[in-house]
Amino acid sequence: MADELDDLQYPAQETEQDIEEQALHPAKAVPARKPGWLARLGERISNQIARVGLPEWNLRSFLYGLGLLVAVILIARNWVDVRLDVLVWRFDVPKSVVIIAAILLGAGLVRAWDAYHSRRAARAAQSEEA
Amino acid sequence: MAYERQATYRRPSVIAMLAAVPYLLLSASQSVQLTTTINLDGSGLRQYTVSFDQARDPEVPKYLREATRGFDRPRRRKEAGRVVITRDWRPANLAKAVAAPDAAASLQITDIIQKPFDVFTEYHWSEQLEIYRETATPIETVGEEIATLSYKLNMPGKIVKTRPNADSFEEGAAVWELSANVDRYTLEATSRRLRWGYLLLLLYVVGFVVFQVVGYGTRLVRNRPRKI
């Protein structure tokens, strides 16, 4: 109780560390009037935009961008119709769509096959433990 | 002139898919349009669109079958007393499809391999079109000047040259109105397309190099020891 009374009468002196910390976070001057809804909205948007940081353009990002550009160019150059025969139906589809669909189908099949084998191995391990 | 008239009529022993049109198809129809579309990768579409009076129904499709052997199944629709049939063929490689020495058509593509420093890719299409009259009677050939074939050619990029001069251009496609009183036509067209893909790649690589050089130079200047 006596210590608490002392703290009230004699507040602790500011140390140099406290002063340095205060310098890192200066007090923000606030206007007397509350900002309107438009100003608050603008501030929120600008805060979001300020968070966006452009990636550094080093060799790695350059190669990623180059790969993306090459992919876009290949898709655009092969955007010509090809005729697909499915039983008695014939329809024209852009070649790029066919290639992408084939890649996705292949990847999906591999993924499903891998998942099936993983589950099978897990079940075999469980049955061995049992 | 690029077209000539022959005194004798003959029918080729094998009707080339790209070359022969029966005269009777033109005379019995209200309109016949032959559309050739050449794609970027050298594939193509060959399409006949024939419009005729309903009363000529069994006759005109027979002539059309002669001109379109090997084409896909025809599609037909009826409108206001007439019939419109469309039949087309979509080869994966148009140039290879006509690569035989005596072929009636050829496609030459001058790409980056042939001309690495040109910003345009050039497409050159040439075709000999024959109108044959083997079974047509003299009475039927009286109106041969009126019977016409509308030949429409779509090419990649912009068509810059046609021989003979095209009669009109529709949405970038060259259109010739070929009269049936001539046996054989030689049609040629050249188009050019900007190699935008390669230009973009070049711009991207050069931009990166410039960015790195400027950054290096800036760092060099900034870290230069200063005199106190």
Q: Please indicate, yes or no, if residue B15 is contained in any of the structural domains.
A: no
What value does the mean pLDDT take over residues A78-92?
A: 87
pLDDT over 90 (residue A22): no
Residues B201 and B219 in one domain: yes
pLDDT over 50 (residue A15): yes
How many helices (H) and strands (E) would you count in chain A?
5, 2
A82 vs B211: CB contact, 8 Å cut-off?
Answer: no
Would you tell me which residues 52-81 of chain A have a C-beta closer than 8 angstroms to some C-beta of chain B? 57, 62, 65-66, 69-70, 73, 76-78, 80-81
Angle subtended at Cα B182 by Cα B93 and Cα B95, rounded to the nearest 5 degrees: 10
Q: Please indicate, yes or no, if residue B228 is contained in any of the structural domains.
A: yes
Contacts of residue A69, defined as CB under 8 A and 6 or more positions apart, other chains included, come to B200, B201, B204
Nearest to B187 by CA among B195, B198, B175, B170: B175
- Give the domain CATH number at B179: 2.60.40
Write out pLDDT tens, residues B167-184. Answer: 999 999 999 999 988 888
On whether the CB atoms of residues B169 and B159 are closer than 8 A, the answer is: yes
Q: What is the largest CA-CA distance in chain A?
A: 98
Residues B188 and B204 in one domain: no
Q: Please indicate, yes or no, if residue B3 is contained in any of the structural domains.
A: no
* Interface with B, mutate which of A56, A59, A60, A62 (most B CBs under 10 A): A62
DSSP summary character for residue B4 = B
* Interface with B, mutate which of A83, A98, A99 (most B CBs under 10 A): A83
On whether the CB atoms of residues B35 and B155 are closer than 8 A, the answer is: no
CA distance A20 to chain B (A): 29
Q: Hey, where are the domains in chain A?
A: 34-77, 80-130
pLDDT band per the 50, 70, 90 thresholds, residue A25: confident
Indicate the angle between helix axes A59-77 and B196-222, nearest 10 degrees. Answer: 170
Residues B145 and B226 in one domain: no
B197 vs A73: CB contact, 8 Å cut-off?
Answer: yes
Shortest CB distance from B197 goes to which of A62, A66, A77? A77
Write out chain B residues lying below 8 Å of A95, CB-based.
Answer: 41
Q: Please indicate, yes or no, if residue B13 is contained in any of the structural domains.
A: no
Number of neighbouring beta carbons within 10 Å of residue B95? 18
Count of domains forming chain B:
2
Shortest CB distance from A57 goes to which of B72, B73, B211? B211
Q: Please indicate, yes or no, if residue B12 is contained in any of the structural domains.
A: no
Write out pLDDT tens, residues B28-66. Answer: 999 999 999 999 888 889 899 999 999 988 889 999 998
Residues B214 and B182 in one domain: no
Q: With a cut of 0.85, is the ipTM above it?
A: no
Q: Please indicate, yes or no, if residue B5 is contained in any of the structural domains.
A: no
Write out chain B residues lying below 8 Å of A57, CB-based.
Answer: 208, 211
Q: Please indicate, yes or no, if residue B218 is contained in any of the structural domains.
A: yes
Residues B201 and B190 in one domain: no
Residues B157 and B203 in one domain: no
pTM here? Answer: 0.71
Residues B227 and B185 in one domain: no
pLDDT over 90 (residue A104): yes
Residues B129 and B225 in one domain: no
Residues B185 and B204 in one domain: no
Size of interface A-B (CB pairs under 8 A): 36
What value does the mean pLDDT take over residues A95-112?
A: 95
At residue B218, the 3 state secondary structure works out as helix
Rounded Cα distance, B38 and A77, in Å: 13
| More confident call, A105 vs B73 | A105
Residues B85 and B109 in one domain: yes
B208 vs A78: CB contact, 8 Å cut-off?
Answer: no
A90 vs B72: CB contact, 8 Å cut-off?
Answer: yes
Residues B158 and B219 in one domain: no
Domain limits at B202?
A: 197-228
| pLDDT score for A90 | 85
Residues B225 and B187 in one domain: no
pLDDT band per the 50, 70, 90 thresholds, residue B199: very high
Q: In what order do the strands lie in the sheet with B148-154?
A: B75-79, B82-89, B44-53, B31-38, B148-154, B173-179, B168-170
